[in-house]
Amino acid sequence: MYQNPAGGRSLTLPSESKDQPKSGRKIYNIAEPILGELEMSYVIDAMRSGWISSLGPYIGRFEDDFAASCQCKHGAATSNGTAALHLALVALGIGPGDEVIIPSLTFVATANAVIYTGATPVFVDSLPSTWCMDPAAIERAISPRTRGIIAVHLYGHPCEMDAVTKIASTRGIAVIEDAAQAHGAQYGNRRVGSLGDVGIFSFYGSKIITTGEGGMLVSNNPKLIERARFLRDHAMSADRPYWHPEVGYNYRMTNIQAAIGLAQIERIEEFLSRKRKLLNSYRQLLSGIDGLEFNPDVLPSRSSLWLVCILLPPGVPVADIAARLKEDGVDTRPFFHPMHELPPFKQFRAVHAEGDGCPVAERLARTGMVLPSSLNFIDEDIEFITSRFTHAFKAVKDSLCYSSA
Ligand SMILES: *Cc1c(COP(=O)(O)O)cnc(C)c1O
């Protein structure tokens, strides 16, 4: 079913595979990009042109093509996804004294970007159906100081965007989509990134489209993108060199990164269909295990299925299964810790639809496990991983039975 990807290259991400196996054994990584001849030819072209810094034709081409792939008119490429998120908030005028509502269950960058602006994050609980923020909890989290909502499409599944934008628009609150994990995902027949005031993406090595490091803001609002471009380049005046009317940032992307990105975006449909095949194979080969829940895939949305995720039955320790799999070279991850449990964010409000705290986010975080989801996997890889998983699951369950007997 799987073909060997172009070039047959398997590039491991150093940060994703620090613990090497005992003896030249294969490591099954959480994520690996596919980089082939197209990426290489664009990179070589960028090198030959001499434009290796943040000027050069690939940046504009990548911005245009990527924005178009999100059904947006404009894009502004950045040095990484966190920088894009920070710029989006600053460009919307969010700063000290403001509150920004975000899901508690997300990658830490979402919360950090709010802190960078001087605004206060307010955490909301997740929905069990999509693992994304619960609109009823957003309603409860709103205060007179609320200026923004960051809708995170967790593990690639779109948020309830109709409900989110409805809540926001009646109160003049901005909606930022954090689509860092959701390249190519659809909400109905609309692409994520185009559903709020501004969308942001990450092109880190583990994401669906990569430029090594990189990010992008997309929007149909030309003023907002123009402001992001100004701020990312030290806030330098367009018509007066070295005149900086305010404090800006260096959040630029290089032409070489954009060359990689341009090649990657041409192949996004291939990557998305590989991710879907991965999930289907896992589902099928693990169907013998009772009580496993896989990634949400709630119609009419189409998840990007960034990583294959499972929820283990309650009481089965994720860490024990992960430790056994690691011995077989199978790398897994727990889910993110809910933000309201992390030391820098404990002081902020966390709410669910009926009260304080985020019980759904906590349950998902405790029972969730991310399985290896490399774009390079072939059928035999998934067969190996699922057979080791089945073995580890049985062994851990048996040990639980003995210890409780
Ligand atoms: C990866 C990610 C980011 C940040 O992207 P970087 O490119 O690593 O800075 C932001 N939000 C979410 C949800 C992410 O997964």
Q: Whose CA is nearest to atom 6 of ligand 1?
A: 81
* DSSP string of 161-227, one letter each residue: HHHHHHHHHTTT-EEEEE-TT-TT-EETTEETTSSSSEEEEE-BTTSSS--BS-EEEEES-HHHHHH
For the chain, what is the mean pLDDT? 94
Which residues, 6 or more positions from 170, have their beta carbon under 8 angstroms from its beta carbon? Answer: none
Instruction: Using alpha carbons, list the distances in angstroms from residue 291 to 1, 26, 271, 288.
Output: 27, 29, 29, 10
DSSP three-state, residue 148: strand
Which residues, 6 or more positions from 57, have their beta carbon under 8 angstroms from its beta carbon? Answer: 49, 51, 255
Pocket of ligand 1 (CB under 6 A): 80-82, 85, 106-107, 109-110, 152, 178, 180-181, 202, 204, 215
% of the chain with per-residue pLDDT over 70: 94
Q: What is the 3-state secondary structure (H, E, C) of 25-43?
A: CCCECCCCCCCCHHHHHHH
CA–CA distance, 184 with 384 (Å, rounded to integer): 29
Which residue among 204, 206, 211, 304 is best mutated to probe the pocket of ligand 1, counting the most ligand atoms within 8 A of its Cβ?
Answer: 204
* pLDDT value at residue 117: 98
Atom of ligand 1 nearest to the CA of 106: 13
Q: Which amino acid is at 85?
A: L
Closest Cα partner for 215 from 116, 293, 346, 113?
A: 113
* pLDDT value at residue 11: 41
Q: Greater confidence, 213 or 10? A: 213
Determine the distance separating the centroid of ligand 1 and the alpha carbon of 265, expressed in angstroms: 18
Residue 18's CB is within 10 A of a number of other CB atoms, namely: 8
Which residues, 6 or more positions from 306, have their beta carbon under 8 angstroms from its beta carbon? Answer: 155, 156, 181, 182, 207, 208, 275, 373
Contact 221, 76 (CB under 8 A): no
Q: Whose CA is nearest to atom 7 of ligand 1?
A: 81
Dump pLDDT digits (tens) for 383-403.
999 999 999 999 999 998 877
Contact 84, 284 (CB under 8 A): no
Closest Cα partner for 211 from 249, 250, 178, 252?
A: 252
Dump pLDDT digits (tens) for 360-387.
999 999 999 999 999 999 999 999 999 9
CA–CA distance, 397 with 347 (Å, rounded to integer): 37
Dump pLDDT digits (tens) for 183-223.
999 999 999 999 999 999 999 999 999 999 999 999 999 99
Q: Which amino acid is at 399?
A: S
CA–CA distance, 135 with 127 (Å, rounded to integer): 9
Confidence category of residue 22, pLDDT binned at 50, 70, 90: low
DSSP three-state, residue 115: helix
Dump pLDDT digits (tens) for 114-142.
999 999 999 999 999 999 999 999 999 99
| 120-124 and 99-103 beta bridge pairing | parallel
Atom of ligand 1 nearest to the CA of 203: 7
Confidence category of residue 300, pLDDT binned at 50, 70, 90: confident
